[in-house]
């Protein structure tokens, strides 16, 4: 759910970040229908699901092989650090596949192995 600031569309300087509406006549503050949504307790997710990736795994940022080996394939999903180079990312991806870990941002440059034709 994305909550937007009142009149964010009118002035670029306001941005799309949330700010509590405070005006006496403010329609968002008074929860008028057809207006922007306002955060409230009813939007909160279940405690067991909070902070998880939509796939249901706990997301873990990884930069080394040692970090990969500490993870549990049933609970964790891997996200490779953006500062990794192509060679290291490729090596980590292969290691993650061996360990059976789910990779959330798999490198695009790795193509599936083609079968040899005779």
How many angstroms separate the CA atoms of 84 and 63, rounded? Answer: 7
Buried b (16+ CB within 10 A) or exposed e, 26-38: eebeeeeeeebeb
Residue found under tokens 């490729």: 90
Residue length of the chain: 118
Cβ contacts of 6 within 8 Å, gap of 6 or more? 19, 21, 26, 28, 29, 36
At 108, the pLDDT band (50, 70, 90 cuts) reads confident
pLDDT of 112 higher than 80? no
pTM above 0.95, yes or no: no
Nearest Cα neighbor of 3 from 11, 46, 31 is 31
Is pLDDT of 115 > 70?
no
Q: Tell me how far apart the alpha carbons of residues 79 and 102 are, in angstroms, rounded to a whole number.
A: 9
**Does the pLDDT at position 109 exceed 90?**
no
């Amino acid at each position: 759910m994305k909550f937007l600031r009142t009149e964010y569309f009118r002035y670029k300087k306001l941005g799309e970040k949330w700010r509590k509406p405070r005006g006496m006549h403010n329609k968002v503050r008074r929860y008028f229908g057809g207006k922007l949504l306002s955060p409230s307790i009813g939007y909160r997710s279940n405690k067991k699901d909070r902070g998880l990736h939509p796939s249901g795994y706990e997301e873990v940022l990884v930069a080394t092989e040692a970090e990969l080996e500490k993870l549990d394939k049933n609970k964790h999903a891997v996200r490779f650090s953006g500062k990794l180079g192509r060679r290291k990312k490729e090596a980590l991806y292969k290691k993650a596949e061996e360990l059976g870990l789910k990779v959330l941002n798999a490198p695009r440059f790795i193509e599936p192995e083609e079968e040899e034709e005779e």
